[in-house]
A = this chain, B = another copy of it.
Amino acid sequence: MSQVFRQHVEKFIKISDDQFEEIIVFFDTKFVAKKENLLEEGQVCKRHFFVLEGLLRKFYINEKGIEQTVEFAIETWWITDNIAYEHKLRTEFYIQAVERSAILYITQENQEKLLAAHPVMERYFRFVYQRAYAAAQMRVKYLFSLSKEEFYYELVRKHPEFVQRVPQYLIASFLGFTPEYLSEIRKKVFPK
């Protein structure tokens, strides 16, 4: 299972078997059931989650009491509330399993110890954040330049497997659609 993580690390840095054995002890694994929460509003955010298998989402509850999904994480994606995690603050977010998932995670304390003991992992995390930041910038550009409908078409074009895998009411929440409106658009994209 940790091979998924090792392969991801080796996309960015070279490490020996022995070094990987020393690195992996800083992490824990956890299996979560569908709809189980890994993080809840009001908790201090202590953990950074890496998806080995499955699918997570991050959401907050808006002033109307509705869950607003802001982010998904599939295999090999990291997810947390990054500001709360870095500064050990209470979070406004929930992180929840959309499917039964296998998760690798590290605590903030362990991440600091890992980086002190294995500075080569700074390079790994530099790439992780660099790519996540670039993706978030692209998302901001889409939020400016595309209508919600165009953004959905872009999702279908770039990540068809993702659109098929995620329950439609969550895609609707992510895009700020009603499920009924998304259903209308879907009929155009995936005619029977």
Residues of A in contact with B (beta carbons under 8 Å apart): 60, 62, 68, 70-71, 81-83, 86, 115, 119-120, 122-123, 125-126, 129-134, 136-141, 143-145, 176
* Other-chain contact of A144, B70, B119, B120 (Cβ < 8 Å): B70
Contact of A82 with B137 at beta-carbon distance under 8 Å, contacts A119-B119, A122-B122, A126-B125 already known: yes
A140 to B134 alpha-carbon distance, docked (Å): 13
Contact status B83-A138, CB under 8 Å: yes
Contact status B60-A141, CB under 8 Å: yes
Contact status B71-A137, CB under 8 Å: yes
Q: How far is the CB of A27 from chain B (nearest CB, A)?
A: 18
Contacts of A131 in B (CB 8 A): 86
Contacts of A120 in B (CB 8 A): 119
Contact status B140-A70, CB under 8 Å: yes
Contact status A140-B136, CB under 8 Å: yes
A-B contact pairs, 20 of them (CB 8 A): A68-B144, A71-B137, A81-B137, A82-B134, A83-B134, A115-B123, A119-B120, A122-B123, A122-B126, A123-B126, A125-B126, A126-B126, A129-B130, A129-B132, A133-B133, A133-B136, A136-B139, A139-B140, A140-B143, A143-B143
